[in-house]
Amino acid sequence: MRNPLIKRIPRELKSDWHKYIVIILFMILMIGVISGMYVGHDSMLEAIHAGQKNLNLEDGNFELTSEASNELLDEISNQTTKVKIYEHFFRNASEDDDGDGEEDATIRIYKSDATIDKATFLEGRAPENDTEIAIDRMHADNAGISVGDEISVGDSKFEVVGLLSYVNYLTLHESNTDIMFDAFGFDVAMVTPEAFEHLTSRLHYNYAFTYVDTPKDNIEEADFSNDFRDDLIKTSYANANPIQNYVPEYLNQASNFAPSDIDSDTTSSSILCYILIGVIAFIFAITISNTIEKESTVIGTLRASGYSKRELIIHYMSMPIIVTLIGAILGNIIGYTAFRSIALNLYYNSYSLPSCELVWSDTALIKTTIIPLLLMFFINLFIIIKRLQLSPLRFLKNDLTKVRRETARRLPKWSFLARFRLRILFHNLPNYLVLIFGVIFIELMLCFAFGLPDSLNYYSQNASDMMFSKYQYVLMKNKDAMGNVITTSEESAEKFSSKTLMYPKDSNVTFKGYGSGEDEEVTVYGIVDNSDYISFPKTLKEDEVFISSAFADKFDLDEGDAIKLHEEYEDKKYSFHVADVIDYDGGIAVFVGNDNFNDIFDKDTDSFNGYFSQHEITDIDEQNIATTITADDIKKVTTQLQHSMGDTFVVFKFVLIALSASLIYLLAKIIIERNEKAISMVKILGFKNREIASLYIVLTAIVIILFTIIGFVASYQLMKWIFKLFILQMDGYFAYYMRVQSMILSMLYLLAGYGIVSVIDFMRIKRIPLDVALKNVD
């Protein structure tokens, strides 16, 4: 005979359907999103890994000052770490998409006959003649370029014949030290070798390599890379062709950022999902705990009749497990269909990824079904076992308190209603604790949903103020091919010197930095006396420098602190003391006088390598300009993030309101259900509905308002800290910022959710009949 208690489950589901619908929808949504993300994630990673094999991804690349001779290449190939070298020259040119003569992006062009770092085509084909070009799919999407359109690259016009994804440019990082990729202002492209030769912009002598012996693991790969780099520096300098750039593949952001970001997305989403499922599990546990309390005499009778504890545990465990299973099954179905496409679209919206096919994901099954089930199982098991510990007699006598207080808790001499509310609070403490946790958690999420777009907007709006000058030109050398000092007729131009050094990130930082390894890139500026662009607050002593406020904030540096910088590719170290902080949030920078700069770095007197300017400089040959920095370059991080995540945040805010409202709804419902008898009794005593509501609803309102405020303050501080940790992983600086309006809204959103729930609560209290307090069986 089947246990007849099983029949209770569908009836329980039916009779309290609105509660279970909220919970099941909640779970379907959570599990569906995570499942979709994992399936999308696994499908995408599979496609990426397949691409890495089939498209001959490099093990690293380096750039030399000039073209390497065959002898030099032979020498490099046969260093301690043997490598195969591929010529992989590129040019950076300006891209004009709409023919208005203004640069829309920097485009990096490779030849179509490359045998390394090849591309897949998402649309169209490879270029076949001098007038054809294939460009990155993501950039084309952002810039509104389609196959068949015409674009200008430098002085040449090309027809776009294909949209591609290069295996080594899954994200459009122009430089490996960029804090963020920039699919708006940067593009990669493929032209025929002939067309490549016709381009006039500076040729970058870049070489890709693969190891002859494949490294066994990441550790060996890092060893190979370090050995190779050390030898390469010596060899290149010895051959008077110094290395300009070196990027091992495992540290290449352009190829690693997307997979690792996809991974971290799923990890953080899973953690969110587990926290929410944990909250749901506690809500269940509280519900069941209340049911056990309500059914105490029935349980006592069943136990007295011979039902074992195990049978009752299984019975009370069934509901949460069944609800989780329903959520998991439906969630997975939606995950594999609708949410997978959403996840893939999110990826395609941000990254230059190849096309991918649906793959079965074991991880999705484990993380979306097994782990939530286990979470639900153990949390409920723990609470139910604890509740069913008592003897059958205690259940029969409805005597369920484990520890009986000798006397009632003494309360302050407040009004009767205030003391009554306090008693309700103590009586329902576990419910209120889960409610408080939920409120704080949602407030944290709201701080994230409001704060990140605010921070991006703030950074974006203030980007031009963060620049010393509208234009910053970094020259290749300060003399042209004829040996003449490069000058300009631009009146606002002012010479400066700059050099990139590395600042070791603190080893006790939680997260290891990536991008530039474990070092932060610091730009050291040599500023001329009486500069129009940067004014020094005081005179510098020997070994003293000024640092930018971004540098000071990121690493908690202050006046008087010692900083040690070192060269990236040479064994040279520099020690300085911070004289003062200059208000500049645009980058991690150090400032010294130009003469001092030339002394420190053994440069000739009057040496310089760049110009600050308020207007565009047009009379310096492009070949002599290494980089041009404008406000747009500073803004590109935020522009990209705003594009990738903009809509998501709006949706996220509304999901959070729904989430907070459902959480509060469930918990408030439980609290009122638990107190039905008491409410019925006070009704009999003559309390009006309004008075009863003021007891129960006002109490919940006080708790929610209080903890919304506390939750906001705590979350705001926590977000600042999380942001700082996050930014420590990367180069550059970007502080967490929240507008006052957003601060207020983040609390109002949550309270608005509660407002709706309190109306439902009032109606619920009104509906409780008088006889509940008097009935034996309901």
Partner 1 sequence: MTENFLEIKDLRKSYGVGEARQDVLRGMNFTVKKGEFCVLLGPSGSGKSTLLNIIGGIDTPDSGYVSINHDILDDMNEKQLTMYRRKHLGYVFQMYNLIPNLNVKENIEVGAYLSDNPLDVEEVLTTLGLQDHKYKYPNQLSGGQQQRVSIGRAVVKNPDILLCDEPTGALDYKTSKEILALIEDCNSKYGSTVIMVTHNEAIKHMADHVIKLRDGVVRHNDINENKIAASELEW
Name the segment binding partner 1 (CB under 8 A); options: 56-64, 105-113, 269-277, 293-301. Answer: 293-301
- Give whichever of 563 and 768 is closer to partner 1, judged by the CB atom: 768
Cα–Cα dist 485/478, whole Å: 6
CB of 760 to partner 1, least distance (A): 23
Query: Smallest distance from the beta carbon of 319 to partner 1, in angstroms?
Result: 12
Q: How many residues bind partner 1 (CB under 8 A)?
A: 31
Stretch that binds partner 1, among 191-199, 251-259, 302-310, 656-664 (CB under 8 A): 302-310
In single-letter form, the type of residue at position 598 comes to N
Q: Does 313 bind partner 1 (CB under 8 A)?
A: no
Q: Is 274 in the site for partner 1 (CB under 8 A)?
A: no
Q: For residues 748-777, which are near partner 1 according to CB under 8 A?
A: 775-777
At 86, the amino acid letter reads Y
Taking the least distance from each CB to partner 1, the nearer of 632 and 673 is 673
Is 686 one of the binding residues for partner 1 (CB under 8 A)? no
Does residue 403 belong to the site contacting partner 1 (CB under 8 A)? Answer: no
Q: Are 522 and 555 in contact (CB under 8 A)?
A: no
Q: Does 305 bind partner 1 (CB under 8 A)?
A: yes
**Rama region for 398: left / alpha / beta (φ>0; ψ in -120 to 50; rest):** left
Which residue from 238, 271, 304, 329 is in contact with partner 1, where contact means CB under 8 A? 304
Contact between 204 and partner 1 by CB under 8 A: the answer reads: no
Cβ distance to partner 1 smaller for residue 407 or 415: 407
Phi, psi of 768 (to 5 degrees): -65, 120
Nearest distance in Å: CB 314, partner 1: 13
Q: Whole-angstrom Cα distance, residue 729 to residue 180?
A: 12
What is the nearest approach in angstroms of partner 1 to the Cβ of residue 321? 19
Residue among 12 and 123 whose Cβ is closer to partner 1 = 12
Q: What is the sign of the dihedral through the CA atoms of 697, 703, 706 and 710? A: negative
* Residue 307 lies near partner 1 (rule: CB under 8 A): yes
The torsion angle over the Cα atoms of residues 188, 462, 546 and 518, rounded to 10 degrees, is -40
Q: Minimal distance in Å, beta carbon 402 to partner 1?
A: 18
Binding mask 336-375 toward partner 1 (x if CB under 8 A, else -) reads ----------------------------------------
Evaluate whether 527 touches 593 at the Cβ level (below 8 Å): yes
Candidates 259-267, 389-397, 438-446, 565-573; binding stretch for partner 1 (CB under 8 A)? 389-397
Smallest distance, partner 1 to C-beta of residue 764, A: 19
Could you say whether residue 297 binds partner 1 (CB under 8 A)?
yes
Instruction: Report the C-alpha dihedral over residues 360, 364, 365, 370, rounded to 10 degrees.
Output: 170
Of the candidates 693, 734, 701, 735, the residue with the CA atom closest to the CA atom of residue 716: 735
Q: Which stretch binds partner 1 (CB under 8 A): 378-386, 388-396, 532-540, 607-615?
A: 388-396
To partner 1, the closest distance from the beta carbon of 26 in angstroms equals 24
What is the closest distance, in whole angstroms, from the C-beta atom of residue 283 to partner 1 in the complex? Answer: 21
Given 306, 412, 483, 686, the residue binding partner 1 (CB under 8 A): 306
Q: Among 60, 124, 300, 610, indicate the residue that binds partner 1 (CB under 8 A).
A: 300
Task: Report the amino acid identity of residue 211.
Answer: Y
Tell me if residue 576 falls in helix, strand or coil: strand
Segment interacting with partner 1 (CB under 8 A) among 64-72, 300-308, 409-417, 478-486 = 300-308
Does 11 help bind partner 1 (rule: CB under 8 A)?
Answer: yes
- The stretch near partner 1 (CB under 8 A) out of 91-99, 301-309, 441-449, 761-769 is 301-309
- Tell the smallest beta-carbon distance from residue 774 to partner 1 (Å): 13
Contact call for residue 318 and partner 1 (CB under 8 A): no
Strand bridging mode 573-582 / 544-548: parallel
Is the CB of 46 or the CB of 311 nearer to partner 1?
Answer: 311
Distance of alpha carbon 523 from alpha carbon 589, whole angstroms: 5
Question: Strand pairing partners for 186?
Answer: 106
SS3 159: strand
Stretch that binds partner 1, among 2-10, 58-66, 236-244, 496-504 (CB under 8 A): 2-10
Nearest CB to partner 1, comparing residues 218 and 305: 305
Please compute, for residue 717, the number of CA atoms within 13 A of its CA located in the half-sphere on the CB side.
Answer: 6
Evaluate whether 486 touches 479 at the Cβ level (below 8 Å).
Answer: yes
Site string for partner 1, 215-254 (x = CB under 8 A): ----------------------------------------
Residue 406 lies near partner 1 (rule: CB under 8 A): no
Q: 15 or 717: whose CB is closer to partner 1? A: 15
At 776, the amino acid letter reads: N
- Angle among Cα 673, 383, 30 to the nearest 5 degrees reads 75
Is 123 or 673 the residue whose CB approaches partner 1 more closely?
673
Helices (H), 622-675: 631-674
Q: Give the contacts of 484 (CB within 8 A, at least 6 positions apart).
A: none
Measured from the CB atom, the residue of 4 and 483 that comes closer to partner 1 is 4
Does 389 participate in binding partner 1 (rule CB under 8 A)?
A: no
User: Which DSSP string do the residues of 513-542 spell out, in sequence order?
Assistant: P-SSTTEEEEEEEEE-TT-SS---SS---T
With respect to partner 1, which residue has the nearer C-beta, 139 or 315? 315
Nearest CA to 88 out of 255, 203, 249 is that of 203
Residue 57 CA to residue 168 CA, distance in Å, equals 7
Rounded Cα–Cα distance for residues 599 and 576 (Å): 14
SS3 626: strand
Q: Shortest distance, CB of residue 728 to partner 1, whole angstroms?
A: 56
Phi, psi of 62 (to 5 degrees): -145, 155
- Closer to partner 1 at the Cβ: 323 or 581? 323
Which three-class secondary structure state does DSSP give residue 84?
strand
Nearer to partner 1, 491 or 778 (CB): 778
Query: What is the spatial distance between Cα 419 and Cα 286, in angstroms, rounded to a whole number?
Result: 24
Closer to partner 1 by CB, 418 or 772: give it: 772
The yes or no reply on residue 12 touching partner 1 (CB under 8 A) is yes
Closer by beta carbon to partner 1, 18 or else 419: 18
Nearer to partner 1, 193 or 769 (CB): 769
> What backbone phi and psi angles, to 5 degrees, belong to 435?
-60, -45
Whether the Cβ atoms of residue 438 and residue 703 lie closer than 8 Å to each other: no
Q: What is the DSSP string of 695-758?
A: HHHHHHHHHHHHHHHHHHHHHHHHHHHHHHHHHHTSSS-------HHHHHHHHHHHHHHHHHHH
In sequence order, the 6+-apart residues with CB closer than 8 A to the CB of 748 are: none
Cβ 670 to partner 1, closest distance in Å?
18
Supply the DSSP string of 204-224, one letter for each residue: EEEEEEEESSPPSSHHHHHHH
Place of tokens 């609708």: 338
The residue (of 4 and 144) whose beta carbon lies closer to partner 1 is 4
By CB under 8 A, the residues from 687 to 726 that bind partner 1 are none
Instruction: Output the smallest distance, CB 12 to partner 1, in A.
Output: 6
Instruction: Report the alpha-carbon distance of residue 639 to residue 249 in Å, rounded.
Output: 26
Measured distance CA(116)–CA(348) in Å, rounded: 24
Task: Give the residue, chosen from 202, 204, 309, 566, that forms a contact with partner 1 under the rule CB under 8 A.
Answer: 309
Interface ranges with partner 1 (CB under 8 A): 1-5, 7-8, 11-12, 15, 295, 297-298, 300-309, 391-393, 396, 775-778
